[in-house]
A and B are shown apart, each in its own frame.
Chain A
Amino acid sequence: MITTDILIIGAGPTGLFTVFEAGLLKLRCHLIDALPQAGGQCSEIYPKKPIYDIPGFPEILAGDLTTNLLEQCKQFEPGFTLGERAETIEKQEDGSFIVTTNKGTKHKAPIVAIAGGLGSFEPRKPPIPNIANFEDKGVEYMIREPELYRDKKVVIAGGGDSALDWSIFLTDIAKSVTLVHRRNEFRGALDSVEKVQELKDAGKINLITPAEISGVVGDNHITGVVISKNNEDEYVLETDHFIPLFGLAPKLGPIANWGLEIEKNAIKVNNALDYQTNIPGIYAIGDVNTYPGKLKLILCGFHEATLMCQSAFQRIFPDKKYVMKYTTVGGVDGFDGTRKEAPKAVVKSID
């Protein structure tokens, strides 16, 4: 069981900044995120895109903002459970919560801060009628264990980086690799496109474009996919595995069943006070929450995180006197023993 003061669901910019604000109050944080890396949308969807409305940064790339936020909060030693989705929450008799992920990892904290953005990123599933019957029976929407494909026939569909990169990677493992895409053009990184071209020329990747997979065949396990090409008859291509890689889309997911008040796919909070939800001890901050006048901006998430931490402190230590300190005055004392502070003024007399 992982224990902490504030359990943050979502390691996007709002969640990461929460670690810093909580750290100033000597509260420790642990973050859960369904993605394998921190940064949320900033690192998953648009790391190379510039953002122009982060106060103090006339222009910053979303990926660099993530790097900076990780650097800013590192002395507060946040814990991470990455690549796992928060699934259930149980309130304990002492008022704390236990949150369990889809992989069974348990986390206990007196405060839960949902900073889940638009939800957890799930693979986009192509609308092939019978595909659901073959999930985990030869159809996988993400590659967890490459060894599964050793000496197997594999068909990958998609035109982005993950489709290209996995096609390249699996040529060394699988018996055969077929890549199917609706266009002749690919939007992945140039290096990857060139590598696939090389492997195609060397006969190591069977490239079928422009084409689409319109069906899946098999009994208990997939045995083939139906390939549709413009103006040509459909045919079945034999395969042991079909891996559709069409990117990820956020879904609110299991959080929607936690008994929280939901409106417009977001969690209602008290914005007059502290961004607490209808369940005391559970807060929602950043894009995942809603209130009158809500704006889904990173800078609003930062503000919400800051106020939320003050409220969390009072919940954990109801009798402790506390006043907010400016970091310029108080400095920053990390849990790792480091201290940042303003340099002392140098006094020198004039004779």
Chain B
Amino acid sequence: MEQDVILKITDRDGVLHEIEAPTDMAMNLMEVIRSYELAPEGTIGVCGGMAMCASCQCYVKSDHELPEMGIDEDMMLAEAFHVKDNSRLGCQIPITQELDGLEVELAPES
């Protein structure tokens, strides 16, 4: 039986949320954030998770090893705003056991 992982998400108002995310539902980080409604509907996951809008951009604050960035994500971040060295698109990060304890902060809405 796979276990839930704990994620530490700082929302756009600076509030920290410790949430449990399932590893067996094929969810990604953007979808988990939406399922907990940590950002209003319509302001996150606008393109549905195709790495085509950057509305799920977040800053990764812990040193977890994340899946390598694909070309779509890389190119989208090249055109997004408020991008930092630790920026990733939540929709491109599947929830796995290895992510237990991951700390991320949502980038501002743009």
Contact = CB atoms under 8 A, between A and B. Distances in A.
Interface of A: 41, 45-46, 49, 118-119, 124, 126-127, 158-160, 181-183, 185, 187, 246-247, 249-250, 252, 264-266
B78 A182 contact: yes
A85 B42 CA distance: 19
B42 A49 contact: no
B79 A265 contact: no
A252 B42 contact: yes
B78 A127 contact: no
Nearest to A290: B41
B78 A126 contact: no
Contacts of A160: 79
Contacts of A118: 42, 46
A246 B43 CA distance: 17
B36 to A, nearest CB: 14
Given A45-B47, A46-B50, A185-B75, A126 B42 contact: no
Contact of B82 (A127, A159, A181, A264): A127
Given A159-B75, A181-B78, A187-B75, A249 B41 contact: no
A124 B110 contact: yes
Interface of B: 40-43, 46-47, 50, 52-53, 55, 71, 75, 78-79, 81-83, 108, 110
Contacts of B55: 249
17 contacts: A46-B47, A119-B42, A124-B110, A126-B81, A158-B79, A181-B78, A187-B71, A187-B75, A246-B79, A247-B53, A247-B79, A249-B53, A249-B110, A250-B46, A265-B42, A265-B43, A266-B42
Contacts of B83: 182
Contacts of A266: 41-42
A118 B47 CA distance: 10
A190 B75 CA distance: 14
Contact of B50 (A49, A119, A127, A265): A49
